[in-house]
Structure 1
Amino acid sequence: MNRHFLLLFSLFCLIAEATSLRCVTCHLRTLSDHCRRGFGICQAEKYETCMSLRIYTNNTLQISYMVCQRFCNNLTYSFNNRTYVHKCCNYDYCNFKT
């Protein structure tokens, strides 16, 4: 019986791993479209989604930041001649595309 339990538990773990939301991470992405710091992949945990923060000056992208984020909210605001666009999404690698 223990062998059957271990087999079912292992199968459950594989399914759970395969269905986890994956997001791109980059802590500093520049105008040249290269990640300068923190490039990788994160797996969202409970209550997390993919998040991107993009900072624009005069409608020109300056830098962006991408991570898995808990309790993410879509938000756009302006401050000191910069526009900050905070976007959240919930399918694999969506924060790299938005």
Structure 2
Amino acid sequence: MDKCFLLIFILFCFIEAVTPLKCITCHLHLKADRCRKGSGVCVAKKDATCMTLKIFKGVDLQLLYLECQKFCRNLTYELNDQTYVHKCCNHDYCNFEP
């Protein structure tokens, strides 16, 4: 009985380890509107995670971009009076924001 349980446990761990990461995609989401372009799901490749890019002008959200991103880094920077906020996460659909 214990050997059977151990075998099932190992198989479950293997399946979980090879299950690809799924992320929401949206290539053009303006302000409080819906996704205008690229709406769907991507499957992250090796070294990729789910990524959210938000672009703000002051405190107002101007654009939202969601995608699978290779070598993603959490990063915030300012350029031309806009703030760019990159967020990375690594579980299914973690970059989705209702």
TM-score class, shorter: 0.7 to 0.9
Aligned Cα root-mean-square deviation (Å) = 2.2
Give the TM-score, by structure 1 length. Answer: 0.78
Cα distance in 2, alignment partners of residues 68 and 33 from structure 1: 21
Letter in 2 for 1:42: C
**Equivalent residues in 2 for 1:15-94, closer than 5 Å:** 15=15, 19-94=19-94
Q: Which has the higher helix share?
A: 1
Give the TM-score, by structure 2 length. Answer: 0.78
Cα distance in 2, alignment partners of residues 72 and 83 from structure 1: 18
Q: Return 5+ residue gaps in structure 1 as ranges.
A: 1-14
Letter in 2 for 1:55: I
SS of 2:95's partner is helix
**How many equivalent residue pairs?**
85
Where do 4+ consecutive residues of structure 1 move more than 2 Å?
none
